[in-house]
Structure 1
Amino acid sequence: MFTGIIESLGTISDLRKEGDNLHLVISSSISPELHVDQSVSHNGICLTVVEATPENYTVTAVRETLDKTNLGELKVGSLVNLERSMIMGGRLDGHIVQGHVDGTAVCTSVEEANGSWYYTFRYDSSNENVTIEKGSISVNGVSLTVVNSKENEFSVAIIPYTYENTNFKEIKEGTKVNLEFDVIGKYVQRLMHES
């Protein structure tokens, strides 16, 4: 369980294919604190640490994860948003993020707004996921508030702190991102559909 408040940026230092699996070696400021079996959110995807050293750590993505996320598009040197799992009893500064990506979206525009930025994303709604105005969405693991919700499309406003401390600074028109829709909204949508 995560909050969507990014703790650190990691850098992909190596990528290794093994069958259908992809091993990602990541260096970050939190690397020395990580240990094997720990869950870490990578661009919103919950992955398990399988190797750890003070300099870097390794996680493995299986075919299912690669098919449904943007992990397969990462290269050596790519920045990755990182968040360790939340500590129960602490503050929930973002929203409830499970680390289970629902799908991807493509950035259709980035608009600078005198010190902040508006990013617009288009997604496939065939899974019946929806956004609502002022609702929560996780984009590459970042907890955000939806502005300008439309069918198959939504925008988010990014403040300078988020821009500088996440990989939003690398997102441009055409960039694929990971989405996790609000878990409560998903349950409501399913109940409405079954009624």
Structure 2
Amino acid sequence: MSTGTLDRPETAPDPPEEFTQEVVFEMLSNRRRRYVVYYLLDADGEAELRDLSRTIAAWENDKRPDEVTSTERKRVYNALQQAHLPKMDDAGLVEFDSSRSTVTATDGLSDLRVYLEVVPGDEISWSQYYLLLGLLFVSVTLSATVGVSPFADVPGVTLSAAMALVLAVSGVAHVYHGRQSRLGADERPPSVGE
């Protein structure tokens, strides 16, 4: 073992292609780490630790960032600097530069977005929903093509417009439902700019 200082390599190793379920659960098991993920996803993937800690302290104390006390900010700052950000850096989610007090999201961080969405056990997933919707559209189109009533009596443009409307309404519902069913949705902080 060398007694000299350990030099960090010029370039950090590439984050893993896929995170194991254990790593994902470990990273998302803590509310402050989830807040870091939310913040970086909303802030184009870069943050200064001072701004990040002030915003997270505001979310935790249900305040605006300019109302956060120095004690509240320092408590979050220290926890992020000493524990959470190094752990996230080791997992390959962020690049934490403690000397510059900056945090940068890796490509792997955006992969966590899918884990923040939850599908309750009694519901079908959106991918299943869209598959069924596609099968319905194909069967309606085939029925109209071969002359099955009542689809044969409806003009093709009207059928196409109806299918497009159903798809658009489904997309709006998907976006709304996705925002409501994220892991920790009851604790989801406001957008960074708010």
**What's the TM-score bracket when you normalise by the shorter of the two chains?**
under 0.3
| TM-score under structure 1 length normalisation | 0.24
The structure with the largest alpha-carbon Rg is: 2
Question: Which is richer in helix?
Answer: 2
Question: Which is richer in strand?
Answer: 1
| TM-score under structure 2 length normalisation | 0.24
